[in-house]
């Protein structure tokens, strides 16, 4: 997926017969390998789709990788939205809220900070750079408990802020924006804008943002995925079921099967998971063309 767009424009520029010859000599092993990877990647997804069509009983009594028994997809979807007073929809709404505010905010902050660091020379810039690289290396999981203790002192655990504030800081996307801004926004444009008397904020929003947009979309996609899939942080922070994101909700449904007297609902866990990834897939399909052109930037000398 990542390699495709950077190869294609280059290949097109080559004389066609030559390209065809090169392709043919390499194709068998490469095709086999990519096919294998494709199957490997799609198999879990296929399992998810197939399993979502089964009842709780069918799930346990039929072969996992093919349809069996009743086709209960519609029934499962209905149950997912009505089980436990329809709390699934609330969880989905929570996740969307966390993603819009958290991932959206993180992208904005990353763009501002990345642009600032790339385009303004100031004392201690190297130190900031080192700090951010270090922050990229620290797994969020390791920070969860200290963050919890900090938030507990502030009295904001078990509120939406406990999830949103940490997800506003994604050092990797700041790093990404910084690197991107360095190349994508030529200093000459900024200088001429300043000469024309534009303020820094105007320059950023009117000039830099359009130039940064491919990188912004990349960072946004990355942040959306991270925030959408976030489980550990809410697991530590949230007690109130009504604040759970979808990941936590499905996790608790799954945990019911391991609880004395708990209701076993594997079929709802699976169907709920399938429904939960659809918005992510949609986001990728809608945003991928921006993302692709973003990746190619800097690969060709102007």
Residues that bind another protein (CB under 8 A): 56-57, 59-61, 142, 145, 148-149, 152-153, 155, 157-158, 235-236, 239-241, 252, 255-264, 266
Q: Which is nearer to another protein, 15 or 155 (CB)?
A: 155
Q: Give the total residue count for the chain.
A: 302
Question: Minimum distance between the CB of residue 222 and another protein, rounded to whole angstroms?
Answer: 25
**Closer CB to another protein, residue 236 or residue 296?**
236
| Distance in Å, CB of 40 to another protein, minimum | 22
Q: Which residues of 156-183 are buried (b: 16+ CB within 10 A; e: fewer)?
A: ebebbebbbbbbbbbbbbbbbbbebbee
Q: How far apart are CB 226 and another protein at their closest, in Å? A: 19
Structure tokens at 261: 């007297």
Beta-carbon-side half-sphere exposure of residue 253 (alpha carbons within 13 Å) = 24
With 0-12 CB in 10 A as exposed, 13-18 as middle and 19+ as buried, what is 235?
Answer: middle
CB of 95 to another protein, least distance (A): 18
Burial, 67: exposed, middle or buried (Cβ in 10 Å; 0-12, 13-18, 19+)?
A: middle
Cβ proximity to another protein: between 153 and 301 the closer is 153
The HSE-up count of residue 177 (CA atoms within 13 Å, CB side) is 30
Q: How far is the CB of 147 from another protein (least distance, A)?
A: 11
Cα–Cα distance for residue pair 218/232, rounded to 1 Å: 24
- For another protein, the closer of residues 47 and 284 by Cβ is 47
- Which one, 25 or 242, has the nearer CB to another protein? 242
């Amino acid at each position: 997926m990542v390699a495709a767009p950077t190869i294609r424009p280059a290949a097109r520029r080559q004389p066609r017969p030559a390209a065809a010859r090169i392709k043919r000599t390499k194709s068998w092993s490469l095709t086999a390998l990519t096919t294998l990877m494709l199957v490997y990647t799609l198999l879990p997804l296929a399992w998810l789709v197939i399993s979502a069509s089964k009842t709780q009983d069918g799930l346990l009594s039929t072969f996992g990788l093919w349809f069996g028994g009743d086709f209960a997809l519609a029934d499962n979807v209905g149950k997912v939205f009505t089980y436990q007073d329809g709390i699934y929809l609330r969880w989905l709404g929570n996740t969307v809220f966390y993603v819009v505010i958290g991932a959206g905010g993180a992208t904005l902050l990353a763009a501002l900070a990345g642009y600032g660091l790339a385009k303004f020379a100031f004392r201690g810039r190297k130190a900031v750079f080192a700090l951010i690289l270090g922050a990229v290396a620290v797994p969020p999981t390791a920070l969860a408990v200290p963050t919890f203790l900090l938030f507990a002192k502030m009295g904001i655990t078990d509120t939406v802020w406990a999830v949103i504030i940490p997800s506003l800081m994604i050092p990797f996307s700041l790093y990404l924006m910084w690197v991107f801004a360095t190349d994508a926004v030529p200093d000459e444009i900024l200088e001429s804008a300043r000469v024309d008397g534009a303020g820094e904020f105007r320059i950023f929003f009117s000039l830099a943002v359009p130039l940064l947009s491919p990188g912004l979309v990349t960072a946004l996609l990355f942040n959306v995925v991270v925030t959408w899939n976030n489980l550990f942080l809410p697991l530590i922070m949230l007690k109130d079921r009504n604040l759970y994101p979808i990941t936590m909700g499905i996790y608790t449904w799954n945990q019911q099967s391991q609880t004395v007297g708990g209701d076993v609902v594997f079929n709802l866990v699976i169907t709920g998971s399938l429904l939960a990834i659809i918005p992510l897939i949609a986001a990728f399909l809608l945003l991928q063309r921006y993302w692709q052109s973003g990746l190619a930037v800097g690969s060709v000398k102007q």
